[in-house]
Every structure is written in structure tokens, then in C-alpha cells.
Amino acid sequence: MFKPMKRFPAHGWLGLSLVAIFWTLNWSLSGLRTQWAFFPLWLGYCLTIDALVFWRTGTSLLARNWKKYIGMFIASAPVWWLFELANWRLQNWHYAGAEEFSTLLFWFWATINFTTVIPAVFGSAELMRSFLPKMVKGPIIRPTKATSIGFFLTGWAMLALMVAWPRTFFPFVWVSLYFILEPINIWLGHRSLVEWTKEGNWQPVVALWLGVLLTAFFWEMWNYLAYPKWVYHVPWGNWFHIFEMPLLGYGGYLPFALELFAMYHLLVGLFGSKETDYLMKSPEE
């Protein structure tokens, strides 16, 4: 049972201070500034969200295991570079201002900034989970052989279509990896979302969806007046922008959160950790 804390944690105040300072700097200074302001701004977001979770529930990612929390930052950079690799084919976004840096310097700053993706999304998902009931009913999806193989083949088909016809099937970048990696995690005995959906409980899935949408709002808002910044170029659906992102693009964040879950748990599983602290425990534990 959740036990709310009476006092807001100290690392939350640190997070709020970082957000206030680097949000102001990133939007008020002229010229290049995002490359050094992005990481402390998003570190502030991560710490603030984690503190809110702890304040509401008495536990959080950082409080439960600070080493694994740091590990999320380390895992986050290579995970996002996979999407940058896919974008070489898709050309769905570019970084305005990147031309001001050498290739090596751009990779350096980008890698540092990419470290905040997973902790931001997972922390936000835990915050959203604290508002949800223990049971959020949805379709029952069990890890049967037929389901796992069907997911696996569907994922590869999506990936092939995306590579072959990127102008039409570019949205598959945000869902194909989940369909490929979820069965692999099941077969290897790593943590997967079917631990919940096999009982018809979609609470972690809904928490991930709500959490990534919260994170997406701040990603897109803080990017809007930043420099360097990302700018989107999509072949269709490029209308009704909210900040730089087309409205339909926010739908891509939903499966993206599931991909992050699958990729993170594949990585930690391969490094020998079958149990992780994300979203507390599975129903059987």
C-alpha cells in the first residue's frame, strides 16, 4: 500500500531548481545554448518527477535502487541512437543548428542528452501509475507460442515495410521494435508486459502511455524555443502542429513507450538482471 510522505524530498527541490535555471537560460539566451542546457534541464525534470512519486507513494525509482537509476541513464543513450540510425533512412527529423558542430562534437553532446530519455519516461509512468487503480481492465494477451511468434513476425514485417517504403510506413519505427523484442524477452525470461496483460490488467501499459505523453509535452514545449532544436519532416499527417510536432505524431509516443520498456528490459536481462524496479512488482510477486 502506498504511504505518502509529509515532506517533499530534497532531490525534488534540486530538480525544481535545475528546471527553473536551465529552462530560463535555454529560452532567454541567444545563439547556441541547448547543447549544454538540455541535460541539466532534463536531469531536473527526472529528479522532480522522481521526488513527486516518492512524495505520493513513499517509494520511487531512485529511492529503491540508486545504482539501477543511474543505469537507466547509461542504457538510454544507446537505445535512442537506434532511432537516430533509423532516421538516416526515414529523414523524419533533423537538428537545426547541428551544422555548427563537428561530427565528433555533435555526437558527444547528443549522447549526453540522450541519456535522459528512459529515466524521464519511466519516472513519469510511475507518477501516472500512482493515480491509477491496481486493476485497469483490458484485453487478455497471454504469452502463448502462437501469440509470441505472431508478434515477432509482425514486428519484422513492419520493419521491412518501413525500410522498403519509408515515405509510407515511417510510423512503424515507433512500434516494430516492440513487436520484435517483447517475444524475445518472453523467451529469455526477462520482464515483459504480458506479466500483466495475461491477467487482463493493463495498468502498466496505461501508466506508460500517460507517462510518455506527459514527457512528450515537455520535450516538445522545451524544444520549441531551444537552439539547437529538432524539426520534423514527415511525408503525411504533417498538420495541426503542437509546438514542432504534428498532432498525429503524439500518437507515436504511445507505442514508443512500450518499445522503451522492451529495450530496457532486454538490456538489463542480458546483463544478468531478470528483476528490475520499474513499476514496482509484477502481480505474482
Would you kindly state where each structural domain of the chain is located, as residue ranges?
10-270
The pLDDT of residue 284: 46
- Give the torsion sign (CA, 32, 38, 41, 43): negative
The pLDDT of residue 272: 76
User: Quick check: 66 and 75 in contact, CB under 8 A?
Assistant: no
The pLDDT of residue 283: 43
Percent of the chain with pLDDT over 70: 94
Instruction: In whole angstroms, give the CA distance from residue 141 to residue 171.
Output: 23
Q: What is the pLDDT of residues 19-31, one digit of tens each?
A: 999 999 999 999 9
The pLDDT of residue 271: 85
Q: How far does Cα 156 stand from its chain's mean position?
A: 22
User: Quick check: 115 and 80 in contact, CB under 8 A?
Assistant: no
Give the list of residues 6+ apart from residue 251 with CB closer than 8 angstroms, or none.
none
Q: What is the pLDDT of residues 48-61, one digit of tens each?
A: 999 999 999 999 99
The pLDDT of residue 13: 98
Note the pTM of the prediction, 2 decimals. 0.93
Q: What is the pLDDT of residues 82-95, one digit of tens each?
A: 999 999 999 999 99
- Give the torsion sign (CA, 91, 221, 104, 270): negative
